[in-house]
Chains A and B, each alone.
Chain A
Amino acid sequence: MIKRIAAYIKPYRLQAALAIFCIAAETMFELIIPLIMADIIDVGVKYGDKTYIFEKGGVMIACALVALVLGIGSARFSAVCGQGLGAELRKAEYRKLQEFSFANTDHFHTSSLITRLTSDITTIQNAVATGLRPAFRAPMMMITAMIVSFIINARLALIFLVAAPLLGVMLYQIIRHVRPLYSKMQGAIDLVNRTIQENLTAIRVVKAYVRGDYEIAKFEESNNNLRFTSETAFRLAALNMPAMQLVMYATILCILWFGGQMIQVGGMEVGELTGFLSYVLQVLNSLMMISSVFMMLTRSLASGKRILEVMDEPIDLTDENAKDLSVTQGDIVFDHVYFKYKKEAKEYVLSDVSFHIKPGQTVGIIGPTGSAKSTLVQLIPRLYDATQGTVRIDGHSVAEYPLHHLRDAIAMVLQKNTLFSGTVKDNLRWGKEGATDAEIEAACRIACVDEFIGRLENGYETELGQGGVNVSGGQKQRLCIARALLKQPKVLILDDSTSAVDTATEAKIRQGMAESLPGTTKIIIAQRISSVAHADQILILDDGRINAAGTHEELLKTNPIYQDIYHSQREGAGL
Chain B
Amino acid sequence: MATPKSHGYKRPKDTKKTLAQLFHYLGVHKLALAGIAVLVFISSAANILGTYFLKPVINDYILPGNISGLVVALLLMGAMYGVGVLATWGYNQLMVHTSQQVVSEIRGDLFRHVQTLPLSYYDAHTHGELMSRFTNDVDTLTEALNNSFALLIQSAIMITGTIAMLLVLNIPLSLIVVAFLAAMFLFIQYNSKRSKKHFTEQQNRLGDINGFIEEMVSGQKVEKVFNHEEQDFAEFCRRNEALRKASTRALSYSGLMIPTIVSLSYFNYAVSACVGGLFVLGGMMDLGGLASYLVYVRQSAMPLNQFTQQINFLLSALSGAERIFEMMAEKPEIDEGVATLCNVVIHEDGSRSECTEHTGQFAWKYPLPNGMTELIPLRGDVRFFGVTFGYKPGKTILDNISLFAKPGQKIAFVGSTGAGKTTIINLINRFYEINGGTITYDGIDVRDIKKDDLRRSLSMVIQDTHLFTGTIADNIRYGRLKATDEDVVKAAKLANADSFIRRLPDGYDTLLHSDGANLSQGQRQLLAIARAAISRPPVLILDEATSSVDTRTERLIEKGMDALMHGRTVFVIAHRLSTVRNAEAILVLEKGRVIERGSHDELLQKQGRYYQLYTGQFELE
Contact, CB under 8 Å: A203 / B122: yes
Contact, CB under 8 Å: A504 / B139: no
Contact, CB under 8 Å: B417 / A41: no
- Is B233 close to A, CB under 8 A? yes
Contact, CB under 8 Å: A568 / B551: yes
- Is A395 close to B, CB under 8 A? no
A418 touching B233 in the complex, CB below 8 Å, given contacts A200-B131, A239-B89? no
Residues of A within 8 A of B58 (CB): 260, 270, 273-274
- Is B247 close to A, CB under 8 A? yes
Contact, CB under 8 Å: B266 / A407: no
Binding stretch for chain B, among A1-9, A52-60, A435-443: A52-60
- Is A387 close to B, CB under 8 A? no
Residues of A within 8 A of B232 (CB): 98
Complex: A573 Cα to B604 Cα, angstroms: 11
Per-residue B-contact encoding for A405-438, CB less than 8 Å = 1, 0 else? 0011011101111101110000000110100000
Contact, CB under 8 Å: B240 / A91: yes
Residues of A within 8 A of B518 (CB): 106, 341
Contact, CB under 8 Å: B220 / A79: no
- Is B126 close to A, CB under 8 A? yes
- Is B22 close to A, CB under 8 A? no
Min CB gap A544→B, angstroms: 11
Complex: A375 Cα to B267 Cα, angstroms: 73
Which of these, B278, B415, B578, contacts A571 with CB under 8 Å? B578
Min CB gap B493→A, angstroms: 15
Per-residue B-contact encoding for A251-275, CB less than 8 Å = 1, 0 else? 0110011011101100000100110
> Which bracket fits the contact residues of B?
35 or more
Contact, CB under 8 Å: A418 / B108: no
Which of these, A212, A261, A430, A501, contacts B228 with CB under 8 Å? A430
CB within 8 Å of A: which B98-135 residues: 100-101, 103-104, 107-108, 111-112, 114-116, 119, 122-128, 130-132, 134-135
Residue of B nearest to A572 (CB): B578
Complex: A171 Cα to B107 Cα, angstroms: 32
Contact, CB under 8 Å: B617 / A530: yes
Which of these, A74, A463, A527, A565, contacts B4 with CB under 8 Å? A463
Min CB gap A250→B, angstroms: 8
Contact, CB under 8 Å: B478 / A407: no
A40 touching B478 in the complex, CB below 8 Å, given contacts A231-B96, A500-B417? no
Complex: A496 Cα to B513 Cα, angstroms: 23
Residues of B within 8 A of A277 (CB): 54
- Is B269 close to A, CB under 8 A? yes
Complex: A525 Cα to B312 Cα, angstroms: 56
Contact, CB under 8 Å: A502 / B575: yes
Contact, CB under 8 Å: B266 / A61: yes
Complex: A113 Cα to B478 Cα, angstroms: 27
Interface of B is mostly: helix
Binding stretch for chain A, among B23-31, B450-458, B484-492, B564-572: B450-458
Complex: A72 Cα to B262 Cα, angstroms: 11
Contact, CB under 8 Å: B262 / A67: yes
Contact, CB under 8 Å: A572 / B577: yes
A65 touching B263 in the complex, CB below 8 Å, given contacts A75-B251, A210-B452? yes
Contact, CB under 8 Å: A474 / B575: yes
Contact, CB under 8 Å: B290 / A569: no
- Is B63 close to A, CB under 8 A? yes
Contact, CB under 8 Å: A252 / B50: yes
Contact, CB under 8 Å: B131 / A196: yes
Contact, CB under 8 Å: B136 / A503: no
Contact, CB under 8 Å: A529 / B455: no
- Is A507 close to B, CB under 8 A? yes
> Which bracket fits the contact residues of A?
35 or more
- Is B222 close to A, CB under 8 A? yes
Contact, CB under 8 Å: B551 / A418: no
Complex: A37 Cα to B272 Cα, angstroms: 10
Contact, CB under 8 Å: B213 / A527: no
Most buried by B among A34, A68, A208, A246: A208
CB within 8 Å of B: which A85-122 residues: 86-87, 90-91, 94-95, 97-98, 100, 102, 105-106, 109-111, 113-115, 117-119, 122
Contact, CB under 8 Å: A57 / B229: no
- Is B176 close to A, CB under 8 A? no
Residue of A nearest to B577 (CB): A572
Binding stretch for chain B, among A324-332, A351-359, A366-374: A366-374
Complex: A212 Cα to B67 Cα, angstroms: 72
Residues of A within 8 A of B291 (CB): 41
A83 touching B215 in the complex, CB below 8 Å, given contacts A256-B62, A504-B616? no
Complex: A48 Cα to B621 Cα, angstroms: 114
A40 touching B418 in the complex, CB below 8 Å, given contacts A84-B244, A496-B521, A573-B577? no
Contact, CB under 8 Å: A109 / B104: no
Complex: A501 Cα to B418 Cα, angstroms: 10
Contact, CB under 8 Å: A572 / B418: no
Complex: A110 Cα to B217 Cα, angstroms: 7
CB within 8 Å of A: which B488-516 residues: 496, 500, 503, 505, 513-515
Contact, CB under 8 Å: B119 / A105: no
Min CB gap A454→B, angstroms: 11
Contact, CB under 8 Å: B551 / A572: yes
Contact, CB under 8 Å: A115 / B92: no
Per-residue B-contact encoding for A214-231, CB less than 8 Å = 1, 0 else? 111001100110110011
Residues of B within 8 A of A383 (CB): 221, 224-225
Per-residue B-contact encoding for A449-488, CB less than 8 Å = 1, 0 else? 0011001010000010111011111110110000100010
A241 touching B550 in the complex, CB below 8 Å, given contacts A253-B81, A503-B575? no
- Is A153 close to B, CB under 8 A? no
Contact, CB under 8 Å: B136 / A119: yes
Per-residue A-contact encoding for B236-264, CB less than 8 Å = 1, 0 else? 11001101100110011001101110110
Contact, CB under 8 Å: B244 / A234: no
Contact, CB under 8 Å: A202 / B468: yes
Contact, CB under 8 Å: B618 / A122: no
Binding stretch for chain A, among B158-166, B342-350, B365-373, B541-549: B541-549
Contact, CB under 8 Å: A203 / B119: yes
A-B contact pairs, 15 of them (CB 8 A): A68-B259, A72-B259, A106-B517, A114-B213, A196-B131, A208-B455, A212-B116, A219-B108, A245-B43, A370-B500, A471-B418, A499-B548, A500-B544, A527-B549, A571-B578
17 additional contacts (CB under 8 A) given A198-B468, A370-B520, A433-B231? A57-B271, A64-B266, A67-B259, A68-B259, A76-B255, A79-B255, A86-B244, A126-B143, A199-B111, A201-B515, A223-B111, A260-B67, A366-B550, A472-B422, A475-B418, A483-B226, A496-B548
Closest 9 CB pairs of A and B: A71-B259, A572-B578, A474-B417, A75-B255, A369-B522, A202-B466, A64-B266, A79-B251, A504-B616
